[in-house]
Amino acid sequence: MPQSEAVESRVLLKRLRDTLAEAGDGQERLNRITALVASSLVAEVCSIYLQTEADTLELCATTGLRQSAVHRTRMRLRQGLVGRIADTASPVATDDAQHTRGYEYFPETGEEVFASFLGVPIQRLGEVLGVLVIQNQNPRTYTDDEVHGLEVVAMVIAEMTELGAFTGTAPTDPPARHQGAFMTRGVIGQEGVAAGTVLLHDPRIVITNPVADDPVNEQARLDAALEALRGEVDAMLHSDDLADAGEHRDVLNAWRMFAHDKGWVRRMKASIDAGLAAEVAVEREQTETRARMSRVADVYLRERLHDLDDLSNRLLRLLTGISAVDQKDVPEDAVLVARNIGPGELLDYGRRLQGVVLEEGSVGSHAAIVARALAIPLVIQAEHVIREAANGDAILVDGDQAIVHLRPEENVAGAFRAKIDMAAQAQEAYAGIRDLPTQTVDGVELTLLMNAGLMADLPSLRPSGAQGVGLYRTELAFLVRRTVPKRRDLVALYSRILDSAGDKPVTFRTLDIGSDKVLPYMRRPEEPNPALGWRAIRVGLDRPGIMRMQLQALLRAANGRPLRIMFPFVAQFDEFRDGHEMVHAEVERERRLGHMVPEYVQIGAMLETPSLAFAPDQFFEMADFISIGGNDLKQFFFAADRENELVRRRYDTLNTSFLSFIQQISERCEDLGTPISFCGEDAGRPVEALAFAAMGLRCLSMRPASIGPVKRLLRAVDLSAARGAIDDARANGDQSVRAALVRWLTQVEAPIN
């Protein structure tokens, strides 16, 4: 922007701020702004349209159009030029409005006489709040500088909207954001219900003075913050922690590149020159980045734009001195609301959280894995939750239905309380049967174990009534760190787990990385189909370094106690035999080194690929135990990606083919004397668990919270009668036995919910 225009822009912004500071209600402020902008930019019309409800823009103030149209003229997003601006978040400038694409005539405004039109979005951090328009009668070509000038004004209005400057007293005021009930639907990340108080992971930064009083001083503040930012990034890059890190280093290198990017800095400085405070200049760039993010399809480019967005957040924090959430300030009933969150950050909050709601996230993301391990209700892909939630709001999370309520009405909150009470009552009922055996009415006894992945899970062992840990996912400890853990750290961790389990058995699964579980510090080849790719035992055998280190840590942690080790994703006998040999070689090594070796080591395999079910008998004889990893087995059995929302629910676990396959595996193991269990998510669903038991499985491993409901159902049914109902459905040609089984359970009044 040329100097003279920059000076004019600064003068306008200051007058704007002074106008806003004068007494009056929100409507008066809006009116004054339109008058000021119209006179300063030599326009006959200036109008402000605000998004009053989802998808609707309302003319909230005007100078030049008919006053009777104010609060009457409304348009949907995409309707008319104003709707187009809001929809595309881009300006429209024309000297012939009537013949411009998208033009729509609103007769009540009397706008037909104005040929020239310039409109810009009023937006903050990628979120469009409204549209600011100027119009002229005569054909006028608005220059780029005029467009930029109006955008700068719109930035200030956006900040003021955020501060609530236009809401409050008059009945015609647009409704304030962060007031009134809001409901959004997402995708289930983890079942369960929670009621609590919103805790924003990234607190919104409120800028009380968006206008620079002294641009020279603002430039100096920006320079100082940039300097500090570059220092932070360099320090992270040089920290020992990252000696040979892969992807994480890439992110930091990208940050460094951005932090020194001349274009980025120049654009922010130009905004300050035009009269914006340094924070708003940073936000303006962020708005632009987010707009680009929503347009680009390329995954790599999106990642880089994410990096730039993260970096801008850091810069904002440096400028405002507001840090990320202080762990000490986490309220007791906090429900964390975040755009996305890393597994390490989520673990930092730990069990203090009642629930988690993410605007992004995926079912298989690390954060989702951690939330599941912590048994915290989680809703992902909850649309607009960041925009609507404010710290301290009441929030209800229904992880069973993937619904989130903010500031709920009393009737919704009441219904929710009833649901929580029912869940609590059910918990009491489960506590009553905790120490009783899991024995069906016809005398079949089952073993119920729990799945775990964090030390934080172990305290659930006794209260849940689990008879041991059937699956300990060791990769979680690797996923939540920035570097490969050291052997001594692992020895300490595994010892604590064994100590805490006491006489109850723990089955440690060796590292299952790859596919959905990507270590941030491990460089991996690009794979077209990661779920079918280089993962789990395949990585362990091809690059035995980490696996050997892990085996050593397990052997040492056992310290003479019995040890159970399980290899994930074994697809053929050879892989198991090689892993088996590796364990024995490590036992020998430990012995040679004079370390105590376990009393005995049991070595098992996860059956997660159909191929292993057809392995030679010798495999079943060598394996001390087998556990069916149903999550993976099902995705390969049906060729349906477990993370793809379009297909993952398409095939029922109680599908006749899948159940019959489970039955075959169970019978083969029985014939060959190999203990068999099931440890996928389905084991924790009561009806599924019953069907597996009916197919012959006698050991199930599940989330601790599922043990109560599963046990209650199993204790209430006659297993051979359940098998009869399943067999009838199969004989009948049913695609899934679910309907028949549930009908039978209802008839016998079994507790299925």
**Minimum CB separation from ligand PEP for residue 450, in Å?**
12
| Choice between 457 and 608, CB closer to Mg ion | 608
Taking the C-alpha atoms of residue 424 and residue 402, their distance in angstroms, rounded to an integer, is 20
| Choice between 313 and 631, CB closer to ligand PEP | 631
* Binding flags for ligand PEP, 442-481, as an x/- string (CB under 6 A): -----------------------------x-x--------
**Minimum CB separation from ligand PEP for residue 492, in Å?**
23
| Choice between 537 and 745, CB closer to Mg ion | 537
The residues, any chain, with a CB within 8 Å of residue 663's CB and separated by 6 or more, are 695, 696
DSSP β-bridge partners for residue 356: 336, 378
**Minimum CB separation from Mg ion for residue 229, in Å?**
40
513 burial type by CB count under 10 A (0-12 exposed, 13-18 middle, 19+ buried): buried
Task: Choose the one of ligand PEP, Mg ion, none that binds residue 398, judging by a C-beta under 5 to 8 angstroms depending on kind.
Answer: none
Taking the C-alpha atoms of residue 753 and residue 751, their distance in angstroms, rounded to an integer, is 6
Applying CB under 6 A, which part among 9-17, 279-287, 623-631, 728-736 lies near ligand PEP?
623-631
Using CA atoms, how far residue 459 sits from 351, 463, 471, in Å, is 12, 8, 15
736 burial type by CB count under 10 A (0-12 exposed, 13-18 middle, 19+ buried): middle
**Minimum CB separation from Mg ion for residue 662, in Å?**
16
**Minimum CB separation from ligand PEP for residue 621, in Å?**
24
| Choice between 6 and 683, CB closer to ligand PEP | 683
* Binding flags for ligand PEP, 645-684, as an x/- string (CB under 6 A): ----------------------------------xx----
Task: Choose the one of ligand PEP, Mg ion, none that binds residue 680, judging by a C-beta under 5 to 8 angstroms depending on kind.
Answer: ligand PEP
Task: Choose the one of Mg ion, ligand PEP, none that binds residue 473, judging by a C-beta under 5 to 8 angstroms depending on kind.
Answer: ligand PEP
* Binding flags for ligand PEP, 115-134, as an x/- string (CB under 6 A): --------------------
Q: How far is CA 235 from the centre of its chain?
A: 28
- Nearest CA among 633, 574, 570, 636 for reference residue 604: 570
**Minimum CB separation from ligand PEP for residue 473, in Å?**
5
- Nearest CA among 85, 114, 116, 127 for reference residue 102: 85
Taking the C-alpha atoms of residue 677 and residue 683, their distance in angstroms, rounded to an integer, is 10
Task: Choose the one of Mg ion, ligand PEP, none that binds residue 453, judging by a C-beta under 5 to 8 angstroms depending on kind.
Answer: none
Site of tokens 């085996």: 551
Using CA atoms, how far residue 252 sits from 201, 223, 262, 296, 703, in Å, is 21, 20, 18, 22, 36
| Choice between 283 and 608, CB closer to ligand PEP | 608
3 burial type by CB count under 10 A (0-12 exposed, 13-18 middle, 19+ buried): exposed
**Minimum CB separation from ligand PEP for residue 468, in Å?**
16
**Minimum CB separation from ligand PEP for residue 736, in Å?**
20
Taking the C-alpha atoms of residue 176 and residue 183, their distance in angstroms, rounded to an integer, is 16
| Choice between 140 and 634, CB closer to Mg ion | 634
DSSP β-bridge partners for residue 473: 509
- Give me the count of residues in the chain: 753
**Minimum CB separation from ligand PEP for residue 641, in Å?**
13
CB 694 within 8 A of CB 440: no
Q: What are phi and psi of 713, to 5 degrees?
A: -70, -45
263 burial type by CB count under 10 A (0-12 exposed, 13-18 middle, 19+ buried): exposed
Hey, which residues between 693 and 732 contact Mg ion (CB under 5 A)? none
Of the candidates 111, 283, 388, 608, which one interacts with ligand PEP according to CB under 6 A?
608
| Choice between 198 and 369, CB closer to ligand PEP | 369
**Minimum CB separation from ligand PEP for residue 243, in Å?**
29
* Binding flags for Mg ion, 588-617, as an x/- string (CB under 5 A): --------------------x---------
Task: Choose the one of Mg ion, ligand PEP, none that binds residue 210, judging by a C-beta under 5 to 8 angstroms depending on kind.
Answer: none
Hey, which residues between 624 and 663 contact Mg ion (CB under 5 A)? 629, 632
CB 42 within 8 A of CB 146: no
| Choice between 493 and 531, CB closer to Mg ion | 531
* Binding flags for ligand PEP, 494-523, as an x/- string (CB under 6 A): ------------------x-----------
**Minimum CB separation from Mg ion for residue 216, in Å?**
60
| Choice between 464 and 627, CB closer to Mg ion | 627
**Minimum CB separation from ligand PEP for residue 451, in Å?**
7
**Which tokens go with 322?**
């507001």
| Choice between 9 and 474, CB closer to ligand PEP | 474
**Minimum CB separation from Mg ion for residue 547, in Å?**
17
Is 29 a binder of ligand PEP (CB under 6 A)?
A: no
| Choice between 182 and 638, CB closer to ligand PEP | 638
Size of the site for ligand PEP (CB under 6 A): 10
| Choice between 50 and 513, CB closer to Mg ion | 513
Size of the site for Mg ion (CB under 5 A): 3
State the first-to-last Cα distance of the chain, in angstroms, to the nearest integer. 66
DSSP β-bridge partners for residue 449: 701
- Strand (E) positions, 443-487? 445-452, 469-473
**Which tokens go with 515?**
């596919």
Is 629 a binder of ligand PEP (CB under 6 A)?
A: yes
**Minimum CB separation from ligand PEP for residue 512, in Å?**
6
Taking the C-alpha atoms of residue 472 and residue 478, their distance in angstroms, rounded to an integer, is 13
Task: Choose the one of ligand PEP, Mg ion, none that binds residue 630, judging by a C-beta under 5 to 8 angstroms depending on kind.
Answer: ligand PEP
* Cβ-based neighbour number of residue 521 at 10 Å: 18
Taking the C-alpha atoms of residue 110 and residue 147, their distance in angstroms, rounded to an integer, is 24
Amino acid at the residue 380: I
Taking the C-alpha atoms of residue 192 and residue 403, their distance in angstroms, rounded to an integer, is 11
The residues, any chain, with a CB within 8 Å of residue 600's CB and separated by 6 or more, are 562, 563
Applying CB under 6 A, which part among 178-186, 279-287, 329-337, 624-632 lies near ligand PEP?
624-632
Of the candidates 121, 149, 186, 630, which one interacts with ligand PEP according to CB under 6 A?
630
**Minimum CB separation from Mg ion for residue 369, in Å?**
11
If you write DSSP's letter for every residue of 365-380 in order, what string do you get?
Answer: SHHHHHHHHTT--EEE
| Choice between 166 and 637, CB closer to ligand PEP | 637
Alpha-carbon Rg for the chain, nearest whole angstrom, is 31
Task: Choose the one of Mg ion, ligand PEP, none that binds residue 70, judging by a C-beta under 5 to 8 angstroms depending on kind.
Answer: none
Is 284 a binder of ligand PEP (CB under 6 A)?
A: no
Q: In what order do the strands lie in the sheet with 403-406?
A: 182-185, 403-406, 394-398, 193-200, 334-338, 355-358, 378-380, 187-190
* Binding flags for ligand PEP, 314-353, as an x/- string (CB under 6 A): ----------------------------------------
If you write DSSP's letter for every residue of 153-220 in order, what string do you get?
Answer: HHHHHHHHHHTTTT-SSSTTSPPPTT-S-EEEE-EEEE--EEEEEEEESSPPPP-S--B-S-HHHHHH
* Binding flags for Mg ion, 662-681, as an x/- string (CB under 5 A): --------------------
Is 631 a binder of ligand PEP (CB under 6 A)?
A: yes
609 burial type by CB count under 10 A (0-12 exposed, 13-18 middle, 19+ buried): middle
User: Kind and range of the H or E element at 672?
Assistant: helix 656-672
**Which tokens go with 321?**
């001195």
| Choice between 250 and 643, CB closer to ligand PEP | 643
Binding site for Mg ion (CB under 5 A): 608, 629, 632
Binding site for ligand PEP (CB under 6 A): 471, 473, 512, 608, 629-632, 679-680
